[in-house]
Structure 1
Amino acid sequence: MASSSKLIRGYEVVIGLENHVQLSTASKIFSGSSTAFGAAPNTQASPVDLALPGTLPVLNRGAVERAIRFGLAVGAKVAPLSIFARKNYFYPDLPKGYQISQFEIPVVQGGRVEFFVGDEKKVVNLTRAHLEEDAGKSLHEDYHGQSGIDLNRAGTPLLEIVSEPEMRSGAEACEYAKTLHALVMWLGICDGNMQEGSFRCDVNVSVRKPGEPYGTRREIKNLNSFRNLIQAVDYEVNWQIDEIEDGRKIQQATVLFNPDTGETRAMRSKEDSADYRYFPDPDLPPLLIAPKWVERVKGEMPELPSVMAARFEQQDGLTAYDAAIMTQSLATARFYEAAKQVCGAPKLVANWLMGEVSRRLNSEEREIEASPVSPALLGALIQRIQDGTISNNAAKQVFEALWSGEGSDVDALIEAKGLKQMSDTGELERILDEVLAANQKSVDEFRAGKDKAFNALVGQAMKATKGKANPAAVNELLKKKLGA
């Protein structure tokens, strides 16, 4: 299902993503060299990685299993036979003069990714996902005007995931990439560290008038943050429209995004597949994946986010949107389930996670694993809302105290801050009588049919009790006293 079109300055934006996912194996895809990050340059490049004469590549079984796992997760076909090919091009950090990849027959074929943009559900189809080796890295800093080459990354296993061009805005592309990022981490096939290059985004962008053929695309390479992805796409879209409006043609190119200026710039002309002169790698036999192998991998997989979200909808009564947010990462899902187990209130837990918890995490740029308020504490706090001990507003004060480390006991904090709701009905009735006597005008207006007057009386009652009265009890007793 393609995403709905949204016009920008009268043009339809067409976006497809290629994501390079570094697989979480301890060794490289065709050699035993380590994939550990941060080693001294060129200390993890073996003769096989460098394609020295007489060396032969041997496929890493763990890399294949991670590809199978991904294919099953997105509902794709896992090819029983796939072929490794040589992709020929020259670049200083490509030691072999070619990259071992897959071309005509990839290991994963098809599939789809579902995600939300706001509360609107989107589906993007996948073209393929194929195994390949990474190149090295060119270093341009601290070399006195020269460039250095670090070949530690050469041969690192990658799964390149290619989408159909079905996204129509930077926001859609960003949410797709976030969902894919969360999925590969959920499956345990990638650590997701974008700063270290474990998850990289190449974005193909073109524009066209509605109903016209696809325009010429430009590929924005190696975006390593979701914020940069949106900024790069938005800039590129407006740049392409400006070019077309000024009567110039878009030239197919590979471009880079500069986060300091917020602009894209052309790096080189973009090749077509024919320019790479693909041919089957003579040193690697076809990859054969038997049905039994697929079934074994399937049996070892965790519960998928989509399956878990459906369970949260059916068992917990969450909306599809709420369930999707609760399963946006394995850590979030575990937090939600642990808190829910404490208080037995799934909807309230989801509301707090999407509200106060999310707000504080975002403001401090923390992941949920680093939340100072544990699932047990959040569950205990929600219990005190449920049993009427505190109001929602008071609960927020307790939450802030827990977050800032003022204490680690919900009941002790409620007591220390004097936040308990009034539970003495007789005392509450006495206060309400005083409020009604002091606000005769509002009483008369309510009896004359003005509903806003009732809200004013509730407000006065809450003020008189310093916010400690249970709002539901105040509403009920006021209606009773007013004969409503």
Structure 2
Amino acid sequence: MAQYEAVIGLEVHAQLKTKSKLFCSCSTQFGKEPNSNVCPVCTGQPGSLPVLNRRAVEYATKMALAIGCTVNERSIFARKNYFYPDLPMGYQISQFDLPIAEHGKVDIDVDGAKKTIGVTRIHMENDAGKSVHSQADNASYVDLNRAGTPLIEIVSEPDMRSPEEAVAYLRCLHSILLYLGICDGNMEEGNFRCDANVSIRPVGQEEFGTRAELKNMNSFRNVQRAIAYEISRQEDLLDDGEAVVQETRLFDADKGVTRSMRGKEEAHDYRYFPDPDLVPLVLDHDWVEELRAGLPELPAARRARFIEQYGLPESDAELLTGDRALADYFEKTVDAYDQPKKVCNWISTDILRMVNECGGSIASCGLAPEEFATLVRIVDEGVINQKVGKNVLGELFAEGGDPEAYVKDKGLVQISDTSALETAVDEVIADNPSEVEAFRGGKTKLMGFFVGQVMRKTKGQANPKLVNQILADKLK
């Protein structure tokens, strides 16, 4: 029996997909020349005044509504004071005692066990810049293009008890953000990132243990690895009679370990106070309700509908609805060819394999849903066999095209003419007398050999079902 129980809470930062920054009109475009997307406001020049981005407020409110938060119709921006080279103002504009939203929840499923994770709050804030350290130059540089980009921070309750639960919660938030279209979710570019607060306590103890905050986790896998390592590290400390120190630790992905970075700050260390340059944010009740009414179908609801409407197993429905674009692709394909299970099978194996090889997004697939539906249909109808169908998919995946026209143009149409197949079968039997004798002597596994020879002779175009039937008759 386990001696300790982990207690995990996540602080998720999601960059909102606005065209301009939170308090100025500078572009949020990624990858521009360093320090080109800047102005007096986001570089903290004296006398410059912030102006709040309405779209960012809309996006933050949508996320709050999507996870069942209470939206505060009055919230206050505060200054979070700390010094770091990539924070030119000397403070971050955030929200503290009165955020935009509070008290939400997210439902997760880990290995069939369902659980609700509480969300303490969502608050808005602007991002810091980026420090770039060059060993070659023995110098550090600061790029302020990201300074001032709009973020929401989603703070969970300490309700998670395993790395798997933490990742399930994180994936759920990620999926909701993408469904809402308010964040692009790119973890490598820092548009979706999280810090994890991890502690352990003896099983049965109510009081929380001393926590460590983990940073520098840029993938779901690394979140799981970092939390798992930290739990093990803290267990070893307690087993050795040592104390866990409250601190911030960085995850080293190459070595799979966490390393101490600094002592963990508390709220009073930041000397929060209301920002005197920003009036309280007051939301119109009718506007909030209009946003609520306009929310799209969210992942959990869509998953339930896929199970009910299309008769899919829960695992398939979860796979398809985890990505809004993938779910849309599935539904458009089924609209064109009403065979949901067969379409799902193709997507979950061949399509997703090719998507992963091309970078992990269904957007890399140039085959339109209607074209894909045609491919699935002509395989079902026996125009081409499954093997040829997979080859055609590989050929058309990137650029698209009409599969029906393609197979005719390439001469790939399946041979279902019985007389033509009988000729090929007779030739194979004549060419392999010893195998025929062995088969008739009881080595029936040789049937696969004969089918393979016929397929080779017909360049893979023979109808395998008919080939098997003809061989069975002729090899009696």
- Give the TM-score taking structure 2 as reference length: 0.83
- For residue 268 of structure 2, the aligned residue among 266, 274, 281 is 274
Residues 96, 421 of structure 1: alpha-carbon distance in 2 compared, 3 angstrom cutoff: same
- For residue 96 of structure 2, the aligned residue among 95, 100, 103 is 103
Residues 413, 188 of structure 1: alpha-carbon distance in 2 compared, 3 angstrom cutoff: same
Q: State percent identity of aligned pairs.
A: 44
Q: Does 1:198 align with 2:191?
A: yes
- Write out per-residue CA displacement over residues 113-156 of structure 1, whole angstroms, 9 at most, x where no aligned residue: 34454665554332211101112222222683332333332222
**Aligned counterpart, 1:329:** 323
**Aligned counterpart, 1:214:** 208
Q: How much has 1:323 moved relative to structure 2?
A: 2.1
Q: How much has 1:326 moved relative to structure 2?
A: 1.6
Residues 154, 419 of structure 1: alpha-carbon distance in 2 compared, 3 angstrom cutoff: same
Residues 333, 423 of structure 1: alpha-carbon distance in 2 compared, 3 angstrom cutoff: farther
Q: Does 1:376 align with 2:366?
A: no
CA contact (8 A) 2:4 2:203 kept: yes
Q: How much has 1:161 moved relative to structure 2?
A: 1.0
Matches of 2:396 and 2:111, distance apart in 1: 30
**Aligned counterpart, 1:86:** 79
Paired letter, 2:51: V
CA contact (8 A) 1:372 1:402 kept: yes
CA contact (8 A) 2:382 2:463 kept: no
**Aligned counterpart, 1:70:** 63
Q: How much has 1:370 moved relative to structure 2?
A: 0.5
- For residue 244 of structure 1, the aligned residue among 238, 243, 248 is 238
Mapping for residues 276-425 of structure 1, pairs under 5 Å: 276-393=270-387, 395-403=389-397, 409-410=403-404, 412-413=406-407, 420=414, 422=416, 424=418
Matched residue SS, 2:166: helix
**Aligned counterpart, 2:432:** none
Matches of 1:135 and 1:378, distance apart in 2: 44
CA contact (8 A) 1:414 1:420 kept: no
Matches of 2:341 and 2:380, distance apart in 1: 12
- Write out per-residue CA displacement over residues 35-94 of structure 1, whole angstroms, 9 at most, x where no aligned residue: 233344444443333444433322221111011111122222211122222222232322
Q: How much has 1:99 moved relative to structure 2?
A: 1.7
CA contact (8 A) 1:132 1:158 kept: yes
Which range moved further: 161-170 or 42-51? 42-51
Q: How much has 1:102 moved relative to structure 2?
A: 1.2
CA contact (8 A) 1:398 1:410 kept: no
Residues 165, 458 of structure 1: alpha-carbon distance in 2 compared, 3 angstrom cutoff: farther
**Aligned counterpart, 1:26:** 19
Matches of 1:421 and 1:321, distance apart in 2: 36
Residues 321, 122 of structure 1: alpha-carbon distance in 2 compared, 3 angstrom cutoff: farther
CA contact (8 A) 2:371 2:400 kept: no
Matched residue SS, 1:91: coil
CA contact (8 A) 2:454 2:467 kept: no
Matched residue SS, 1:162: strand
Matched residue SS, 1:101: strand
Matched residue SS, 1:144: coil
Q: How much has 1:309 moved relative to structure 2?
A: 2.7
Residues 86, 354 of structure 1: alpha-carbon distance in 2 compared, 3 angstrom cutoff: same
Q: How much has 1:160 moved relative to structure 2?
A: 0.5
CA contact (8 A) 1:85 1:278 kept: yes
**Aligned counterpart, 1:3:** none
**Aligned counterpart, 2:147:** 154
Q: Does 1:228 align with 2:245?
A: no
**Aligned counterpart, 1:134:** 127
Q: How much has 1:436 moved relative to structure 2?
A: 13
Aligned-CA RMSD value: 3.8
Paired letter, 1:240: Q
Q: How much has 1:358 moved relative to structure 2?
A: 1.6
Unmatched tracts of structure 2, length 5 or more: 430-434
- Give the TM-score taking structure 1 as reference length: 0.81
Aligned length: 462
CA contact (8 A) 1:318 1:347 kept: yes
Unmatched tracts of structure 1, length 5 or more: 1-6, 444-452, 479-484
Q: How much has 1:393 moved relative to structure 2?
A: 4.8
Matches of 1:214 and 1:185, distance apart in 2: 34
